[in-house]
């Protein structure tokens, strides 16, 4: 098992290198080098911002390293260079204070817009209350009168290495939650015990659930599919074992799902 992994690793390395150098954006995601493909407006916004600032800092990084290496290669004693003795230049200081300020301003404007959009939970079509607990999630569809618990379904034997690991090892649950595509869903998140954080990368950023308090966020899925995530706030021994699985579906399918949940409910 380790052996095959290592072999895969070696074959994968040149691809990754090529990927790093030439392929921008989404293609990188397939090799696990970048964010997974966004499927909600917030995730899209985050993805775009992430790419923008990644490129900006990459360029800055190249410039800084370029100057440094130019200097390392050319300004060395072994080349017989005599050291210059300058020790200040107000002009230079002003330049490298002002330019970063302008770059930061350039980053602040789109970030502010994105943040305002993200925090706007008004005009939602439905509300779901999510409660984390040690260790799993409790979902309540407040407008539909549905509630259920959702916990890790990976068998213990796979974790212990006694069975081969499945395709969705550690990212599979006994009961998926469902969301309709194209609807703005408001989430209320809280917790029964310690702090948890609900996070499905492709659906947009995470939010912490605090015991005794309620936080809000929203998701508007744009595509049908199954999306997986994990708790991302340390919550004790099984923090690594409380995944989230969301099925997004067309409204009709969602309605059918709701009806099925209701008929299955013990009440």
Partner 1 sequence: MSGDHGTYYLPDPTKWPVITSMGLFLLALGFTLNIHSVAPGPWVMLVGALVIVVMMFSWFGQVAGESEAGRYGHQVDTSFRMGMGWFIFSEVMFFAAFFGALFYARIFSVPWLAGDEVLWPGYEGGWPTAGPTGANYIGPDAHEPAAGQFSSIGALGVPLLNTVLLLASSVTVTIAHWALKAQQRGRLAFWLLVSVVLGFAFLYFQVGEYMEAYQHLGLTLGSGVYGATFFMLTGFHGFHVTVGAITLTVILVRCLRGHFSPDNHFGFEGAAWYWHFVDTVWVGLFIFVYIL
Partner 2 sequence: MSEEITAVADHHHDDIPKGLSRWLFTTNHKDIGTLYLWFSFMMFIIGGAMALVIRAELFQPGLQLVNPHFFNQMTTVHALVMIFGAVMPGFVGFANWLVPLMIGAPDMALPRMNNWSFWLLPFAGMLLIGSLFVPGGGPAAGWTIYPPLSIQTGMGMDLTIFAIHILGMSSILGSINIIATILNMRAPGMTLMKMPLFVWTWMITAFLLLAAMPVLAGAVTMLLTDRHFGTHFFDAAGGGDPLMFQHIFWFFGHPEVYILILPAFGMISAIIPTFARKPLFGYTSMVFATASIAFLSFIVWAHHMYTVGMPLSGELFFMYATMLIAIPTGVKIFNWLATMWRGSMTFETPMLYAISAVALFTVGGLTGVMMAITPADFQYHDTYFIVAHFHYVIFCGSVLSMFGAVYFWLPKWTGHMYNETLGKWHFWLTVIAFNVTFFPQHFLGFAGMPRRIPDYAQQFTEFNMVSSIGAFVLGFSQILLLINVVRTIKAGQPASDQVWEGAEGLEWTLPSPTPYHTFVTPPKVS
- Using CB under 8 A as the binding criterion, the count of chain residues that bind partner 2 stands at 98
Distance CA 105, CA 59 (A): 17
186 binds partner 2 (CB under 8 A): no
Binding-site partner at residue 107 among partner 1, partner 2, none, CB < 5 to 8 Å by type = partner 2
As measured in angstroms, the least distance from the Cβ of 204 to partner 1 is 22
Binding-site string for partner 2 from residue 82 to residue 101, where x marks contact by CB under 8 A and - marks none: xxxxxxxx--xx--xx--xx
Task: Choose one: 139-147, 178-186, 209-217, 248-256; the region binding partner 2 (CB under 8 A).
Answer: 209-217
User: Which DSSP letter does residue 38 get?
Assistant: P
Structure tokens at 258: 């709701």
- Out of partner 2, partner 1, none, what residue 199 binds, judged by CB under 5 to 8 A for its kind, is partner 2
Q: Which of 173, 180, 207, 246 binds partner 2 (CB under 8 A)?
A: 207
Q: CB of 141: closest distance to partner 1 in angstroms?
A: 14
Query: What is the nearest approach in angstroms of partner 1 to the Cβ of residue 214?
Result: 6
Which among 112, 113, 111, 258 is positioned nearest to 183, based on CA atoms?
258
Q: Using CB under 8 A, which residues numbered 226 to 265 contact partner 2?
A: 229-241
**Least separation in angstroms between CB 150 and partner 2:** 17
Q: Binding partner of residue 119 among partner 2, partner 1, none, CB under 5 to 8 Å per kind?
A: partner 2
Q: Which is nearer to partner 1, 189 or 244 (CB)?
A: 189
23-35: burial string, b at 16+ Cβ within 10 Å, e else: eeeeebbeeeebb
- Rounded CA-CA distance 82/92 in Å is 22
* Contact present, 44 and 35 (Cβ < 8 Å): no
**What's the N-to-C CA distance of the chain in angstroms?**
47
Partner touching 215 among partner 2, partner 1, none, CB below 5 to 8 Å by kind: partner 2
Look-up of token digits 């579906």: 249
The contact set with partner 1 (CB under 8 A) reads 129, 188, 190, 212-214
Q: State which residue, 234 or 265, has the beta carbon closest to partner 2.
A: 234
> Which entry of partner 2, partner 1, none binds 6, CB below 5 to 8 A by partner kind?
partner 2
Strands of 80-150, DSSP E: 126-133, 136-141, 146-150
CA distances from 155 to 67, 173, 244, 259 (A): 54, 11, 16, 30
Alpha carbon distance 191, 212 (integer Å): 7
């Amino acid at each position: 098992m380790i052996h095959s992994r290592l072999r895969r690793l070696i074959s994968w390395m040149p691809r990754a290198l090529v990927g790093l150098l030439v392929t921008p954006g989404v293609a990188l995601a397939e090799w696990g080098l970048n964010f997974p493909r966004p499927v909600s407006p917030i995730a899209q916004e985050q993805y775009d911002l992430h790419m923008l600032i990644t490129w900006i800092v990459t360029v800055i990084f190249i410039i800084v390293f370029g100057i440094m290496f130019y200097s390392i290669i050319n300004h060395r004693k072994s080349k017989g260079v005599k050291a210059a003795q300058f020790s200040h230049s107000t002009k230079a200081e002003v330049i490298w204070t002002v330019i970063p300020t302008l770059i930061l301003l350039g980053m602040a404007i789109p970030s502010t817009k994105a943040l305002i959009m993200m925090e706007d939970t008004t005009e939602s079509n439905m509300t779901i209350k999510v409660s984390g607990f040690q260790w799993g999630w409790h979902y309540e569809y407040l407008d539909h009168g549905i509630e259920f618990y959702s916990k890790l379904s990976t068998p213990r034997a796979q974790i212990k290495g006694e069975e081969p690991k499945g395709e969705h090892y550690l990212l599979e649950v006994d009961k998926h939650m469902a969301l309709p595509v194209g609807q703005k869903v408001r989430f209320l998140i809280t917790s029964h015990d310690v702090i948890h954080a609900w996070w499905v990368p492709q659906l947009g950023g995470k939010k912490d659930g605090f015991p005794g308090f309620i936080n809000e966020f929203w998701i508007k899925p744009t595509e049908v599919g199954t999306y997986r995530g994990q708790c991302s706030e340390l919550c004790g021994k099984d923090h690594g074992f409380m995944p989230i699985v969301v099925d997004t579906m067309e409204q009709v399918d969602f309605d059918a799902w709701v009806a099925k949940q209701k008929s299955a409910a013990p009440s």
